[in-house]
Amino acid sequence: MENRVRVRFAPSPTGPLHIGGVRTALYNYLFAKKNNGDFLLRIEDTDQTRFVPGAEEYIIESFKWLGLKFDEGVSIGGQYGPYKQSERKAMYKDYAFELVEKGKAYFAFDTAEELAQKRAEAEAEKKTFQYDCNTRLGLRNSLSLSEEETRRLIESGEPFVIRFKFEKDGQIEFDDLIRGHISVNSSLLDDKVLYKSDGMPTYHLANIVDDHLMKISHVIRGEEWLPSCPLHVSLYKAFGWEAPVFAHLPLILKPDGKGKLSKRDGDRLGFPVFPLEWHDPKSGEISSGYRESGYLPQAVVNMLALLGWNDGTEQELFSLQELVDKFSIERISKHGAKFDMEKAKWFNHQYLQSVSDNELAQQYIKELNDRGYTPTLEFTEKVVSLVKERCSFAKDLWQTSDYFFLRPESYAEKALKKRWKEGTGSVLTDILSRLSEIEDNNEWGEKAEEFLMKYIPEHELNMGQIMNSIRLAIVGDTKGVNMVEIFKLLGKQESIQRIQTAIERINL
RNA sequence: GGCGCAUUCGUCUAGUUGGUUAGGACGCCAGAUUCUCAUUCUGGAAAUCAAGGGUUCGAAUCCCUUAUGCGCUACCA
């Protein structure tokens, strides 16, 4: 029980879950499962001003879709709860005060205006104001003020925050599983606020307290936390707690240019940045999701896992279980990875092929019904089996198989020019009459093929030319699956009808 | 500005103890297959390993410097 691996994913419910966050969660999950450990979900809602209704439910729903199960946490429960920081509010204050008593932190009474003033002054001199060991004595806090004054201010209800007190010339060192040894001089760090004047802790305090209380063994999080890690390490030390092992993940970058992948990039380049579609309750804006865009959850998981990690072999397709078996933090790359939508599409193509025809057909038939067609499941299944390999998404089914359901209304001009020559009409008329003579049963398609294979060479006609003109007549373009397969599925009546119509229309 | 992190084909990456024709995948191009399109298969182009210095018989791999990019620099997470 002592050294059990326990990791957590700790999002803040300020909106939909970003794909980078999903990857962070995935790596946490893989690491936990690989080591037979626990994967927890904690909601970090200490900033009341940024709370967005529905975000928490969205997060839970996202992981359900992705197939990543939490062992403990919000909506699941567990013995270390509550798992939502707003419900743990009372305890943070005690911990913050404990630090003040230990001389590791102090009260500060500076107002937001006063600090803004300081920053403006510094900026005017092209410097940066920092609340740290060099400036704190000149500011209004329990270090610069007398004990009586401090007590008087607190008792009179003056708003205050608690700041961490960094040592003057300490060296803070820690090891990161991905980045190796990291060393920072403490006098360069600013005295971060731990406890806000609204009675809530900041991320830094709440995070450390909760990770300690929830017995988190490894903290796997985004690189944006690396700069504040020295503070976190110092906090563990100040409390006298053992720090967890840290691993800071590289960022997911936008496909073009530089920088973090953002919601705007998705809108701009036309790919989802969120696992599920998100309806913003305030702006009413809708952001697309992987699920709604037709991605399979396994494909998203595989794609994300490989964006910055590989097992050292040339394998690229992994099931979730395989990822669990082969995952290792040490093999995560150190630098950010640009998101590649083409590769994402390729992954989905791979996974779509493993979905059964029956399952896809059931899904497709709903779409067909919506479009006003009512084919049987059997027929739809046959169509699916023929066109599946050409699709990357289930939604591609229609554009690759529409001709099985609707007659061509027009004929592609380019194909017409190339495949419908002077005598095509009369040749097809002759072929048509011969096709009509073939008995209309299950073997009609094969028989039709047999006939064509004989007829075309016998009349010294060009195979490609004739087959394509028939295709053009039936499909409306020179595209689609094997002609015989189309004959078979469409049947004699429909096939002949379409050729007949085409001859009449085109030869007009 | 300060601090931190990073830097191998267009993109994702392999390369863990210095000796490889620097490998794979996506994308791209070509060929093959087919009645077309797509799929599939085969092949090809594509990284002087950010740059410059060292160390060494030998460096993508070790050291230094520089450059560039990114991240953080809030009573946000």
- The percentage of residues in chain A with a pLDDT greater than 70, rounded to a whole number, is 99
Q: Residue with CA nearest B75 C1'?
A: A196
User: Does the pLDDT of residue A476 top 90, yes or no?
Assistant: yes
Q: Tell me what pLDDT residue A446 has.
A: 87
**Does residue A239 lie within any of the structural domains?**
yes
Q: Answer whether any strand B atom is within 7 A of the Cβ of A446.
A: no
User: Does the pLDDT of residue A2 top 70, yes or no?
Assistant: no
Q: Are residues A297 and A220 in the same domain?
A: no
CATH number, position A63: 3.40.50.620
| Res. A150 pLDDT band, cuts 50 70 90 | very high
Domain count, chain A: 5
Q: Residue with CA nearest B3 C1'?
A: A188
- The mean pLDDT value for A324-333 works out to 95
Q: Tell me what pLDDT residue A124 has.
A: 83
Task: Determine which one of A263, A345, A418, A479 is catalytic.
Answer: A263
Read off φ and ψ for residue A54, nearest 5 degrees: 95, -15
User: Does the pLDDT of residue A1 top 70, yes or no?
Assistant: no
A417 CA – B1 C1', rounded, Å = 67
- The percentage of residues in chain A with a pLDDT greater than 90, rounded to a whole number, is 78
Residue numbers 86-145 of A with CB closer than 7 A to any atom of strand B? 110-112, 115, 119, 126-128, 130-131
Q: Which of A352, A379, A396 is the last residue of a domain?
A: A352
- Closest nt by CA–C1' to A196: B75
Q: Tell me what pLDDT residue A170 has.
A: 85
Q: Answer whether any strand B atom is within 7 A of the Cβ of A297.
A: no
Q: Are residues A226 and A303 in the same domain?
A: no
Q: Are residues A52 and A93 in the same domain?
A: no
Residue numbers 29-68 of A with CB closer than 7 A to any atom of strand B? 44, 46-47, 50
CATH number, position A270: 1.10.1160.10
- Closest nt by CA–C1' to A222: B71
- The mean pLDDT value for A170-186 works out to 89
Q: Are residues A372 and A341 in the same domain?
A: no
Q: The tokens of A227 are what?
A: 């700069």
A347 CA – B9 C1', rounded, Å = 21
A222 CA – B72 C1', rounded, Å = 12
- The SS3 call for residue A439 is coil
Predicted ipTM of the assembly = 0.94
- Closest nt by CA–C1' to A14: B77
Mean per-residue pLDDT of chain A: 93
Q: Which structural domain range is residue A281 located in?
A: 263-352
- In strand B, the nucleotides that come within 7 Å of a protein beta carbon are 1-8, 10-16, 23-27, 34-40, 69-77
Q: Tell me what pLDDT residue A12 has.
A: 95
Q: Which of A47-51, A126-130, A465-469 has the lowest mean pLDDT?
A: A126-130
- The mean pLDDT value for A134-159 works out to 94
- For A42, counting Cβ atoms within 10 Å of its Cβ (0-12 exposed, 13-18 middle, 19+ buried), the class is buried
N-term to C-term CA, chain A: 84
A105 CA – B64 C1', rounded, Å = 40
A412 CA – B29 C1', rounded, Å = 27
**Does residue A60 lie within any of the structural domains?**
yes
Q: Answer whether any strand B atom is within 7 A of the Cβ of A307.
A: yes
Q: Are residues A347 and A287 in the same domain?
A: yes
A362 CA – B30 C1', rounded, Å = 40
Q: Are residues A367 and A307 in the same domain?
A: no
- The mean pLDDT value for A194-216 works out to 96
A33 touches A324 (CB < 8 A): yes
Residue numbers 342-371 of A with CB closer than 7 A to any atom of strand B? 342-343, 345-346, 349
> CA–CA distance from A335 to each of A118, A251, A309, A385 (Å)?
36, 7, 11, 42
Q: Are residues A427 and A496 in the same domain?
A: yes
Q: Answer whether any strand B atom is within 7 A of the Cβ of A340.
A: yes
Q: Which of A58-67, A119-128, A237-246, A487-496 has the lowest mean pLDDT?
A: A119-128
Q: Are residues A142 and A170 in the same domain?
A: yes
d(CA A278, CA A54): 10
A469 CA – B4 C1', rounded, Å = 67
pTM above 0.90, yes or no: yes
CB A335: neighbour CB atoms within 10 A?
9
- Closest nt by CA–C1' to A200: B75
Segment of A191-195, A426-430, A432-436 carrying the highest mean pLDDT = A191-195
User: Does the pLDDT of residue A418 top 90, yes or no?
Assistant: no
d(CA A452, CA A499): 14
**Does residue A323 lie within any of the structural domains?**
yes
d(CA A60, CA A62): 5
**Does residue A242 lie within any of the structural domains?**
yes
Q: Answer whether any strand B atom is within 7 A of the Cβ of A224.
A: yes
Q: Are residues A179 and A212 in the same domain?
A: no
Q: The tokens of A76 are what?
A: 């699941």
**Does residue A330 lie within any of the structural domains?**
yes
**Does residue A26 lie within any of the structural domains?**
yes
A42 touches A201 (CB < 8 A): no
d(CA A192, CA A108): 11
**Does residue A82 lie within any of the structural domains?**
no
d(CA A210, CA A7): 12
CB A116: neighbour CB atoms within 10 A?
12
Query: pLDDT tens digits for A96-140?
Result: 999 999 999 999 999 999 999 898 888 888 888 999 999 999 999
Q: Are residues A95 and A191 in the same domain?
A: yes
User: Does the pLDDT of residue A420 top 90, yes or no?
Assistant: no
Establish whether A454 is a catalytic residue.
no
A27 CA – B51 C1', rounded, Å = 35
CB A491: neighbour CB atoms within 10 A?
15
Residue numbers 197-216 of A with CB closer than 7 A to any atom of strand B? 197-198, 200, 202-203
User: Does the pLDDT of residue A268 top 90, yes or no?
Assistant: no
- The mean pLDDT value for A393-419 works out to 92
Residue numbers 228-267 of A with CB closer than 7 A to any atom of strand B? 228, 250-251, 253, 258-260
- The mean pLDDT value for A225-247 works out to 96
Residues constituting chain A: 508
- The mean pLDDT value for A201-207 works out to 97
Q: Are residues A187 and A105 in the same domain?
A: yes
Q: Answer whether any strand B atom is within 7 A of the Cβ of A147.
A: no
Q: Are residues A422 and A398 in the same domain?
A: no
**Does residue A81 lie within any of the structural domains?**
no
What is the helix (H) or strand (E) element at residue A25, kind and residue range? helix A19-34
| Res. A258 pLDDT band, cuts 50 70 90 | confident
Q: Answer whether any strand B atom is within 7 A of the Cβ of A194.
A: no
Q: Tell me what pLDDT residue A508 has.
A: 61
CATH number, position A115: 3.90.800.10
Alpha helices in A127-228 (DSSP H): 147-155, 203-213
A127 CA – B2 C1', rounded, Å = 9
A314 CA – B21 C1', rounded, Å = 20
Q: Tell me what pLDDT residue A162 has.
A: 97
CB A75: neighbour CB atoms within 10 A?
15
| Res. A11 pLDDT band, cuts 50 70 90 | very high
